[in-house]
A and B are shown apart, each in its own frame.
Chain A
């Protein structure tokens, strides 16, 4: 995947954003950022000519039980560089700015993350479930997920918490 973003440029970003952090011990350190500054950071990464990360390669979330982490993998076609940006979110109320404001093509991937992981994207044009049924009330990729029980009520398929075995 080309080469990783240079450390001195990461340092520049760290000076520019006070919540930015990275682990200098790692070979390819992810750039951690506070969720309030995420949108500004992404704008800088995309629009600064010396960075020009024009492609959102991948976007997802990971449930670490104490917190939820958003992972963004950006790629610059011009310089053949890539960088990983991570944001830690509160597990009970995960909310983050939608990247559709910068990359319109993240629409479906954000809907998927919302559907399966329950992360709410602010200012998303069309935040609906995409893979699971619309009336499903759980997020399957969470680590504490218990499958819901399908039942037909009045001709409509509904989903219910499983009855305990006892």
Chain B
């Protein structure tokens, strides 16, 4: 047996496979990982503090910059929390448009997941394919609101503009393309032997561990816990659609990947139903020009692409929020990183970073 000595290796903050400016201090014994400590704060902009000096309407663009690959979901969470606080009823058409946008954004975000995961595993082709298809969704957002990533389309009381026929037609075209797209992905990498060998039975998170760490989103569902806020809370128009919550069994990297592949299909199912039953009517509620929610606090959570995104807003009766707290799913999920990496090889750490899918804009807030 060779004599080994423990040492610490810094991965990041400038490292291509830590997905942004995440730094992980990996403790190694030879090539085996003994511990992994995430170090964050490199992208901390103090969004919670910044919001305290802006009006409620001015706060919405900040939420785009939290989880910048699923901006629509963040807009939705913040706007719903303010609506809850101020008691604003949202028109039905707006609810439907919101669901379409949020689900499209979920698919786009899963594209980033698939793309970066395959890239990290050494297949740059996978990234090109996933980003090619993500571009189709970003083009749809370009039609509906003129922005591709930081959309700022969902507003307090509804949406910024009505969904044009062009947008609805092109969304239908994209939904028709989804089965073909998934088929292509499955042929390209899901069936790949090396890909499977790297993913299966690595970085296992058991059901108990996932619950213990307070994880949420696809990561907890991959461990077999049926926890989807869209299903539980039925917020917005989600109660009206029929969709399944895919669950994993083992909670390994492979399950976390497959859950997202299945979720793309489910999201497409939701969008199809929303397109078919799209009601007519106004797209914006009557919101006062100067919004002054009554004194009090409200907490609202939505199912973001990465899990349970919650907004806690305290109002002192003025035009600006007194305090905003954002419960960010990737921040909480990162607690599992140490357990995921322990006992794995250094090369597997990269896979673990990719499948836990942290987004530093959200982690650092």
Interface residues of A (CB under 8 A from B): 1-2, 54-58, 60, 62-63, 71, 73, 77, 80, 84, 103-109, 112, 116, 129-133, 140-141, 145
Contact = CB atoms under 8 A, between A and B. Distances in A.
Given A57-B310, A58-B312, A84-B299, A105 B332 contact: yes
B310 A141 contact: no
Main secondary structure of the interface of B (DSSP, over half): mixed
Nearest to A106: B214
A131 B233 CA distance: 31
Contacts of A109: 327, 331-332
B323 A140 contact: no
A140 B297 CA distance: 21
B41 interface: yes
Given A104-B212, A130-B40, A132-B44, A1 B300 contact: yes
B334 interface: yes
Nearest to B311: A58
Contacts of A116: 48
30 contacts: A1-B299, A54-B211, A55-B211, A57-B301, A57-B327, A58-B299, A58-B301, A58-B310, A58-B312, A60-B312, A60-B325, A62-B323, A71-B297, A73-B299, A84-B299, A104-B212, A105-B214, A105-B335, A108-B331, A108-B332, A109-B331, A109-B332, A112-B331, A129-B41, A130-B41, A131-B40, A131-B41, A140-B49, A141-B48, A141-B323
Contact of A71 (B227, B300, B312): B312
Main secondary structure of the interface of A (DSSP, over half): mixed
B66 interface: no
Interface in B273-306: 297, 299-301
* Residue from A1, A80, A103, A129 having most chain B Cβ neighbours under 10 A: A1
A165 to B, nearest CB: 20
Given A1-B300, A141-B48, A57 B213 contact: no
B332 A131 contact: no
A103 B213 CA distance: 8
B8 interface: no
A129 B364 CA distance: 12
B314 interface: yes
Contacts of A133: 41
Interface in B10-60: 40-41, 44, 46, 48-49
A108 B335 contact: yes
A88 to B, nearest CB: 14
A141 B232 CA distance: 32
Contacts of A63: 323
Given A1-B300, A57-B308, A108-B331, 20 more contacts: A2-B232, A56-B214, A57-B327, A58-B325, A60-B312, A62-B314, A71-B312, A73-B310, A84-B299, A103-B212, A104-B213, A105-B212, A105-B214, A107-B335, A108-B332, A108-B335, A131-B365, A132-B44, A133-B41, A141-B48
A131 B364 contact: yes
A102 to B, nearest CB: 11
A55 B214 contact: yes
A57 B325 CA distance: 12
A129 B297 CA distance: 27
A1 B301 contact: yes
Closest 3 CB pairs of A and B: A105-B214, A60-B325, A131-B41
B233 A2 contact: yes
A129 B334 CA distance: 16
Contacts of B299: 1, 57-58, 73, 84
Interface string B217-261: 000000000010000110000000000000000000000000000
B97 interface: no
Contacts of A57: 299, 301, 308, 310, 327
B215 interface: yes
Contacts of A130: 40-41
Contacts of A106: 214
* Residue from A54, A133, A141 having most chain B Cβ neighbours under 10 A: A141
A105 B213 contact: yes
Contacts of A129: 41
Contacts of B308: 57
Nearest to A60: B325
A62 B52 CA distance: 12
Contacts of A73: 299, 310, 312
A56 B213 CA distance: 10
A74 to B, nearest CB: 11
A105 B214 CA distance: 5
Given A57-B310, A140-B49, A103 B44 contact: no
B28 to A, nearest CB: 21
B225 to A, nearest CB: 9
* Residue from A106, A130, A140 having most chain B Cβ neighbours under 10 A: A130
